[in-house]
Amino acid sequence: MFGFLKKNRKPTPFSSGAVKTVLHKDLDFTSTEQYKVLRTNLRFTLPEGVKCPIIGVTSSMRGEGKSTTAVNLSYVLAASGKKVLLIDGDMRIPSIAKKMDINGDYGLTNYLMKTELRPLDTLKTDVLDNWYIMPAGELPPNPSELIGSRRMGALLESMTEEFDYIIVDLPPVNIVSDAMAISGHITGLVVVVREGYTEKSEVERCFRQLKLSNVKVLGCVLNGAKNDGGAYGKYKKYKYYKYYRYYTSEDEDKKETEAK
């Protein structure tokens, strides 16, 4: 399953210019189409009858592109006409406000810690009328407790009455327990893996932890996958996010059966 991953490879951070070119409306054609494929596949993996799916986006380690994936997934959902809320649930190293170029001083943490703050006071958007952003806000001393709290559950429940989709950017599974703490409040998780960067052992450890915690995994996004030809061949000049592959648990079961 993880033969495409690298072992013991040091992270190579994106430059600010590179990050800008792989976000929402600045995406190249190839990336936009693959995010649309992700949008379509999610609709098949989500449980039936869920009015407003709450989808967490995480990874095994830092630098795999989970926050960028969360931004772009929420964008393509909103571009399809759905009312979408993107929440920065990474209250340790938040990045959504910076990526979206909005004020991140007030947000999720402020609502969870201050009862007088209304959820709608934290929503910001200027790209699409039906796309809303809730920054992480101030850095708290107890993010794992806050993200898994009853107040967080009540917030999400109230927001399901206002939106069609809620996307929550979460910290990496192997570093902190936040993604497991919030699992009882969300529909499921999308796990982001970056080809040629993520260590195989880290991904295996990530899925072991999620399985032990009974977290529902909706699928796995392979980020930065190489595409050497075909219909997208002419887009090779774009260095980042050239192609995505989306895996579900059913895909992996099929692969194991064929291998036998």
Read off the CATH number of the domain in which 80 is found.
Answer: 3.40.50.300
The mean pLDDT of the chain is 79
**What are 214-252's pLDDT values in tens digits?**
899 999 888 877 655 444 444 334 333 334 444 454 554
Q: Which of 89, 113, 254 is nearest to 167 (CA)?
A: 89
In a domain, 43, yes or no: yes
Q: What is the mean pLDDT of residues 33-49?
A: 87
Whether residue 7 lies inside any domain: the answer is no
Res. 14: pLDDT tops 80: no
Q: Is residue 59 part of a domain?
A: yes
Greater model confidence, 54 or 221: 54
What span, in angstroms and rounded, lies between the C-alpha atoms of 137 and 220? Answer: 28
Q: For 107-146, how does the pLDDT look when each residue is reduced to its tens digit (9 = 90+)?
A: 999 889 887 777 777 787 778 889 999 999 989 889 999 9
In this predicted structure, the answer to whether residue 71 has a pLDDT above a threshold of 90 is yes
Instruction: Look at residue 6 and tell me if it is in a domain.
Output: no
**Residue 21, domain member (yes or no):** yes
260 pLDDT above the threshold of 50: no
Q: Does the pLDDT at position 183 exceed 70?
A: yes
- Nearest alpha carbon to residue 177 among 206, 136, 138: 206
pTM: 0.78
* Structural domain contains residue 38: yes
- For residue 8, being part of any structural domain is answered with no
Residue 45 domain boundaries: 16-259
In a domain, 1, yes or no: no
Question: What is the number of structural domains in the chain?
Answer: 1
